Each structure stands twice: as structure tokens, then as C-alpha cells.
Amino acid sequence: MFCEVTTLDNGISVISERIDTVRSVAIGVWFAVGSRDESAAESGMSHFLEHMMFKGTDTRSAADISQAFDGLGAELNAFTSKEYTCYYSRVIDRHLPTAIELLSDMVSNSLLADDACASEREVVIEEIARMEDTPDDRIHERFAKALWPGHPLGASILGSRESVSTFGNGSTAAFKDSHYTTGNCVVAAAGNVEHSQLVELIGKHLTLRSGSRTVRDSGFQSSPEPLSVLTRDTEQSHICYGVTALNAQHEDRFALSVADTIFGRGMSSRLFMEIREKLGLAYAVYSFVSLFQDTGQFAVYAGTRPSNTEQVVATIRNEIDRLCDSGVTAEELDRAKKAMTGSLVLGLESTPNRMTRLGKGLITNAELLSIDELVDRIESVTQADVIRVARESFSGPRSLAVIGPYAQDDIAHLIG
């Protein structure tokens, strides 16, 4: 196998891929908790807790942590998604033991002090304000809320001002104790690393509450809302239009990715060629796929002047119909496969990308495939697969989200 996996006696999983032609190691500590695991009162807590892990421990201040990583010439960062949280570093191989001790201290011994919570609440509220002032970001959150109304998948990863303003030491510590457990933790590394050394270091330094993997509710159910309009006096209308899609483990996920590439990924895609190059209606237009444990989304984003909104939505719908009715050409299929395999192989020359692939795969219980196996799956997609998955995806109810100078009734006729 291209990687090694070990489960420690305490339940922490360790996965690594050795690349002995580099002098660095990318390492990530992953937890199986994200915004979809929050109650309404906890909305934004996973992301807030991620911030708090950098604010100091029993033995190190926030400045001490930053200075320690800087002193190693290392990179340090973190991110929160809807289904997981990751703390990661990239470091010269000889400094790996120190980096592991530092990361372990951060996630194991964070103080979550009241004064630090108070200041970080303000930081996150500013982050929410920045997102709300960035309509091409905010529209994706608006669309998710329409696609999964009433479900945590439709909520913002950042949370709301109202929820974040209530976070303090007690609630933050309780959330951490519930989710930052041994069974919910995966440590992933890629680069010039010996798996046995990694296992030894994690066993020595990473101390978490004992607990098994959190089991999410199965049987996802949600009824998409057809239209969501946020009235704002913007220079552009920001549009998301699409559907719920298959889940991250579905056997058709590679066919869906190929369909997405042909439809709206890159400058040779159908949407780019039609809406930008031919009609000149948008600077930014693309399709995107996001897959989760039990559902997903296949959608289009476009930004255009308000006077062009109706034509852009109509063109998107026409291109969806063309994809579902006529499928794709052999030339389009071949070009998409080459684009995808090229992007995959080039991207995986990066140790952080390789680490992310390992960590995400194990934390989501995904199938772990080598690069060659991934390429084979992409190459196996046929024209028939693409038209079938497109038809299946767009046969369900569609949602349209718009931010712009409109009232809801102004564009209700665009949903079809």
C-alpha cells in the first residue's frame, strides 16, 4: 500500500506516506467535527474552537506558540469545514519531533481562558462581517442554506453574531471535551517521515480524552427551497443555481467530477465559453461540486450586472438542459480527463496536499486510493456515465440563490 496506517491503543489513528526525495514533512492533527455537528446554539463553535487552540496552553502563551514555530522555520495553520477540523504544520524533517510536541500541546492543553474567549469572539465577529461584505463568498452560504434548510449543513461555518457572542470558557471547553477525543482524532503526515517514529511521537505527546468515533445521524433528509434572495445594493448580481448531489462515497463520484469539469471548470468549459467568451455576461462563472458523508451539491456560480441576471440564469439552465439531453463529446471527455489527471498529479507533488488527502480520507472513512488508482478511476469514466450522472443530478428540485438589488418577487419567475 502507498501509505501506512496504525491505530494506537487509545484509539488515535495515524497515517503517513513517506516521500524520501524531499526534506520536509507536512503533518496534520484532524478531528471528526465540523459545523454540521453543531446545534443551533453552538453554530460556529467548531471554527471558534479552532481559533482558541492558538491562544495559549498551560506552559505556552499565544506568542510562545507563534515564536516556537517561527523558530523552526515552519508553517502553522488550521481550518474548519462542515465535517472536520485540521491543525497542520509543514516543517523541515529534523524538526518534526518538536513540531509534533508543539501541535500536541496546542490541541491537548489549550487554556480556553475567559479573557481569550472574549477577545476572540470579537475577532470572529469581524470575520463574519468581512464575509457579509464579500457577496461572492456570502452567496455560497446563502445557497447552502436554501439547499439544506433547517439542517446544520446549511448553516455558516463561521456561525452568527448571535451564537458566537455567547461563547465562553464553559461552552467551549464542553464542546472540546465532547469532540476532541481519541476516537475522533487522525494524525496524518507526508514527506520524509518514518511511520514508526511518527507513531512513537504521537503516542508520547498527544493526550486526549478517551472516546470512540462520533456517529452522525444517517438517512439525510432535507427539502430544498427553490428561491433565496438577499436584497443588497450591489454593483453585481451574485448567483448560485444548482441541486443536491450524491455523497462522497458514491461510486459515481468520479463521473460527477468529470461532468463538473466539462460543464464549468476552467477556461475551456461550456459555461466559461458560453457566458464569458461568447456572450460577455460575466467575469467569473464556474460550476462546483461539494460532497459530504450523506449528500452533496452540484451548482453554478456567476457574477453579473443586475440587468444581465435573467439572461445569465436562462443560459445556465439552457446549458444544464444541453448537458442532460445531448451529453458530451469524445473530445470533451478526453480533455476533461487529461485536465483532471494533470491537476491531480501536479497537486500531489506538494507534501501538504498529500497530507490533506490522507487525513481527509481517514477522517471521513473514505476509500484510500493511490495516485495510479485515482487516475484509473478517472480514465474509466465514459460518455454514458457523464450523461447518466448529469440527468440523475438535475432530475431533483433546483435551488436559486441571488444577492443583488432585487426583491424576492422580482426574480421568482427565473426558477422555472
Does the active-site annotation cover 332? Answer: no
CA-CA distance, 111 to 53, in Å (whole number)? Answer: 8
State the average pLDDT over residues 313-342.
98
Amino acid 1: pLDDT? 87
User: How do residues 277-293 score in pLDDT, each as one tens digit?
Assistant: 999 999 999 999 999 99
What average pLDDT does this structure show over 355-376?
97
By CB atoms closer than 10 A (0-12, 13-18, 19+), residue 82 is: buried
Q: Which amino acid is at 232?
A: R
Strands of the sheet with 85-92, listed across from one edge: 4-7, 13-18, 185-191, 24-31, 85-92, 75-80
Judge whether residue 173 has pLDDT over 80.
yes
Span 198-234, pLDDT tens digits: 999 999 999 999 999 988 876 677 799 999 999 999 9
| Alpha carbons 209 and 207: distance in angstroms, whole number | 7
The one-character DSSP state at 87 is E
Grid coordinates given for 383:
460518455
Q: Confirm if 195 and 16 have CB atoms less than 8 A apart.
A: yes
Predicted local distance difference test score (pLDDT) of residue 219: 67
- Bridging pattern class, strands 75-80 and 85-92: antiparallel
Torsion over CA: 26, 32, 37, 43 (sign): negative
Tell me the three state secondary structure of residue 268. Answer: coil
Of the candidate CATH numbers 2.120.10.30, 3.40.50.1820, 3.30.830.10, 3.20.20.30, the domain formed by 227-415 belongs to 3.30.830.10
CA separation, residue 241 to residues 57, 95, 311, 370 (Å):
45, 47, 13, 34
Only one residue has cell 445569465, namely: 312
Segments making up each domain of the chain, as ranges: 4-205, 227-415
Runs of H (alpha helix) within 28-111: 45-52, 62-71, 96-109
pTM recorded for the entire structure? 0.97
Q: How many degrees, rounded to 5, is the angle at CA 161 between CA 158 and CA 167?
A: 80
pLDDT in tens, 232-256: 999 999 999 999 999 999 999 999 9
Beta partners for residue 303, in sequence order: 238
C-alpha cell belonging to residue 274 = 458560453
- Residues contacting residue 13 through CB under 8 Å, at least 6 positions apart: 5, 6, 7, 185, 186, 187, 362
Three-class SS string for 99-136?
HHHHHHHHHHHECCCHHHHHHHHHHHHHHHHHHHCCHH
The conformation of residue 212, written as its DSSP 8-state character, comes to P
Backbone angles phi and psi of 402, in degrees to 5: -140, 135
User: Among all chains, which residue has been given the C-alpha cell 488527502?
Assistant: 357
**Strand bridging mode 13-18 / 185-191:** parallel
Give percent above pLDDT 70 in the chain. 99
41 Cβ partners below 8 Å, 6+ apart? Answer: 163, 166
Q: Which of 77-86, 159-168, 180-189, 217-226 bottoms out in mean pLDDT, i.e. has the lowest?
A: 217-226
Q: Which tens digits make up the pLDDT trace of 74-113?
A: 999 999 999 999 999 999 999 999 999 999 999 999 999 9
Residues 34-67: tens digit of each pLDDT = 999 999 999 999 999 999 999 999 999 999 999 9
Annotated catalytic residue, options 50, 83, 120, 319? 50
d(CA 82, CA 79): 10
CA distance 88 to 187: 10
May I ask the CATH architecture of the domain 4-205? 2-Layer Sandwich (3.30)
Q: Say if residue 415's pLDDT is above 90.
A: no
Contacts of 217 (CB under 8 A, 6+ apart): none
